[in-house]
Homo-oligomer: A and B are copies of this chain.
Amino acid sequence: MNGTTRTVKVGNVLIGGGHPTIVQSMWKEAIGQIDTALTARVDALGRLGCGILRFAVPDMDAAERLGELAAVSSLPLVADIHFDWKIALRCLDFPIAKIRINPGNIGARWKVAELAGKASDKGVAIRIGVNGGSMPKDLEDRADRPAALVEAAEREVAAFDELGFTALIVSMKASDVDETIRANRLFASRHDIPLHLGVTEAGPAIPGIVRSTAALYTLLKEGIGDTIRVSLSDSEENETIAGSEIVALADGGRKNPSIISCPKCGRAGFDTHAFLSRWQGRIYALGKPVTIAVMGCVVNGPGEARHADLGIAGGGGKAIIFRKGAIPRTVPLEDADSEFGEELSRL
């Protein structure tokens, strides 16, 4: 969240200007049949905290399908286009919210002008997405990588500035955490354009979440960044949960459920891992800022998690279910799931 950037409208969402940091994800597959299964998954991503959803649009067929989805989607959609500017123009015939293009991909100035003109007419934002792995030739080998990322972005910004197009968002992503942090700090010190933060090619879930948190939490805590994506070799749902958690920690004002739970140890009589794997999805789907505790030990559990809205602590063949301000209830372990489920639905 950054109070010093200009505000850019992305569908029904406002980015920058001190508005809450928006979490994004990107669809992992080609856009298929637009059916209720697809729209239900989009809705579910929204409940997990996803505020904007991006799709790769590699060809005209994909543009048509994205257009069909945009007409019914509960989330603002972004068309991600490489190389072919005509695909971008076609996407602008539909109610999409943003276009993401790669620097240098559009080509001739008149093409940029046509694209900016049509986006402006339709009220569609444009994100310039600079990527450390695909830099302009003359910047590729510059030793100061953060400065090179910023310069690549500034060249694109200049092209849109000349045209008077201001609904811009910029991202500068590297696979290196320090480089990503430094590039965004430098850009933020010079411009009032909202920043989309991310680490690129961040890897599978564990290293990807570590790298994304290190870069994005650090920047958001400094007031840099208006929207983020945690990019993982993992599902859209997991990208969204991780992104929501980073924003909750960095900005405060949590909007998603918080799960606290024991790591399990040789003392624990309750399999918190198995319990969580059964309940985690439903807890996150609540889509509101409740704290749920899953504790491995009836002795310390309820005490350690007494601030939780709902908690369970197991051990010795029984479970204790506790709610903030209510007297803890002891139930047999075999009833723990059903009792927990009932309490959860009351939240």
Contact = CB atoms under 8 A, between A and B. Distances in A.
B27 A263 contact: no
Contact of A263 (B55, B231, B267, B273): B231
Nearest to A256: B207
Interface string A54-88: 01111000100000000000000000101000000
A228 to B, nearest CB: 12
Contacts of A303: 133-134
B201 A304 contact: yes
A210 interface: yes
A261 B203 contact: yes
A175 interface: yes
Copies held by the complex: 2
Contacts of A203: 258-261
Contacts of A300: 133-134
Contacts of A204: 259, 261, 273, 276, 280
Given A210-B249, A217-B213, A241-B206, A266 B27 contact: yes
Contacts of A218: 217-218
B267 A175 contact: no
A234 interface: yes
A28 B303 CA distance: 21
Interface string A191-210: 00000000011111111111
Interface residues of A, number: 68
A302 to B, nearest CB: 10
Identify whether the interface residues of A are mostly helix, strand, loop, or mixed: mixed
A265 B234 contact: no
A60 to B, nearest CB: 13
A300 B260 CA distance: 40
Contacts of A208: 261, 263
A324 interface: no
Contacts of A30: 266
Interface string A226-247: 0000011110001101100110
Given A175-B260, A238-B206, A261-B201, A266 B217 contact: no
Contacts of A31: 266
A262 interface: yes
B305 A249 contact: no
Interface of A: 26-31, 55-58, 62, 80, 82, 131-134, 175, 177, 200-211, 213-214, 217-218, 231-234, 238-239, 241-242, 245-246, 249-250, 258-267, 272-273, 276, 280, 293-295, 300, 303-305
List the 9 closest A-B pairs by CB distance, nearest first. A133-B304, A56-B266, A213-B213, A210-B245, A56-B265, A201-B260, A231-B263, A233-B261, A56-B267
22 contacts: A26-B265, A28-B263, A30-B266, A31-B266, A56-B266, A131-B304, A201-B260, A201-B304, A201-B305, A202-B263, A203-B258, A203-B259, A204-B280, A207-B241, A207-B258, A210-B245, A210-B249, A213-B213, A217-B218, A232-B263, A233-B263, A233-B276
